[in-house]
Amino acid sequence: MDKLTDDVPGCYYNRTVQFFYEHSGKNISAHWRPRDYVVVSLGMGVSVIVILANILVMVAIFINRRFHFPIYYLLGNLAAADLFSGIAYLHLMFHTGPWTIKLSKNQWFVRQTLIDSSLTASVLNLLAIALERHQTIFTMQLHSKMTNRRVVLLIALIWGLAIFMGLVPTMGWHCVCDLENCSTMAPMYKRSYLVFWAVLNLFTFSLMVAAYTRIFVYVRHKSQRMSQHTSQIRHKETVFNLMKTVSMILGCFVICWTPGLVLLMLDGLGCESCQVLRYEKYCLVLAECNSLVNPIIYSFRDTDMLQTFKRILCCLCRRGDAGRKDTLSGMRCNTLEQEPYENGDAELVEKTRGAPLILKGTEDMMTSTES
């Protein structure tokens, strides 16, 4: 993107990043302001927590054979996308504020590509999980029958689309040669690209809403039919647990993503009185928080996952003891499947093995159907 030759008429390849910021009205302070310290400190804190939480999820899925099912592979890929998001956002925190002036245009596009690709990968993973749950629930299964090859292809498709979406502005959808259409929030992106990215994510969210709404309606209908075989209390618990999980998934997505997407739309549509720069940084932090909320919703509420987390953390604490030579690969987490079941109901546990807590309330309905 940076060129040492003369500018092409109508293009500004040799201009600095500061030139585009000043033209769009997004002035960069040469000195650190209190607001800059707050945003950077908050962003770094969130990024570190996101990175550690998602590493923990990935390690737990890798070492525990009970989690070697398609839905958990998708959850692991979601954790990888959120990990990437945390790293990209941490990179942004070291290249924002007064540091932005020192960036070349190539470095600026790399910074934005990392953010766009990581957030897109996270959203696409959420959609893939919703569609996978939709397929398994409607076929009355606890985990998908997708082969490992199909799961790998799906994961590759998710990352391919995410990387492509991040590279689209670099490949030409920028305003280096169309200065009048530069956006305010991303001064070298065209406004039309911001609208496109926001609409695409809103469309993805609408698909998630449709999938989870169909799941909820279907399970509620089935559980009502099965209520004659089960207690009324159990029927209510099934519907309530399902509604609670669906509400958490969609509610957190709306809270974390809607403010940022609305700002992108307003900026893309050229709203000059909307003061998008006033809220930009905070909306980006909020969107990043979704990468922290995801492991809590999809993993930390799973009893088996929590037990694995405890074993990992205990092992790490023991490794701090100089007198011990235990390694992560040799800890008991690798042999979780060999542990006896306390309640003695091994058959039921085996049938529900691999079912994540997301929509786990449907197990009661499925169990009733089988009986």
Q: Which of 94, 104, 119, 118 is nearest to 36 (CA)?
A: 94
Q: Tell me which of 137 and 153 has the higher pLDDT.
A: 153
Residue 18 has pLDDT above 80, yes or no: yes
Q: pLDDT tens-digit profile of 317-336?
A: 877 664 445 444 444 444 44
Q: pLDDT tens-digit profile of 219-245?
A: 777 777 765 655 556 555 655 665 677
Of 39-43, 109-113, 262-266, 346-350, the poorest mean pLDDT is in 346-350
Q: What is the CA radius of gyration of the chain?
A: 24
Q: Are residues 1 and 105 in contact, defined by beta-carbon separation less than 8 angstroms?
A: yes
Burial tier of 161 (Cβ tally within 10 Å: 0-12, 13-18, 19+): middle
φ, ψ (nearest 5 deg) of residue 3: -130, 145
pLDDT value for 230: 55
C-alpha 292: how far from chain center: 8
Rounded to two decimals, what is the model's pTM?
0.81
Helix 232-268 / helix 276-295 crossing angle, nearest 10 deg: 150
Q: Which of 58, 168, 77 is nearest to 116 (CA)?
A: 168
Q: Are residues 266 and 280 in contact, defined by beta-carbon separation less than 8 angstroms?
A: no
Q: Which of 266, 185, 239, 263 is nearest to 362 (CA)?
A: 239
Q: Tell me which of 276 and 1 has the higher pLDDT.
A: 276
Q: pLDDT tens-digit profile of 188-215?
A: 999 999 999 999 988 998 998 898 888 8
Q: pLDDT tens-digit profile of 22-69?
A: 888 887 877 888 888 888 888 899 899 999 999 999 999 998 888 888
pLDDT value for 228: 60
284-294 per-residue burial string, b: 16 or more CB within 10 A, e: under 16 = bbbbbbbbbbb
Of 100-109, 282-291, 293-302, the poorest mean pLDDT is in 293-302
pLDDT value for 237: 63
Q: Residues with Cβ < 8 Å from 154, sequence gap 6 or more?
A: 74, 128, 146
Q: How far apart are CA 59 and CA 76, in angstroms?
A: 9
Give the sign of the dihedral formed by CA 115, CA 121, CA 124, CA 125.
negative
Residue 163 has pLDDT above 90, yes or no: yes
pLDDT value for 371: 47
Q: How far apart are CA 147 and CA 275, in angstroms?
A: 49
pLDDT value for 59: 92
- Give percent of the chain with pLDDT exceeding 70: 77
Q: How far apart are CA 153 and CA 137, in angstroms?
A: 22
Of 11-20, 24-33, 82-91, 184-193, the poorest mean pLDDT is in 24-33
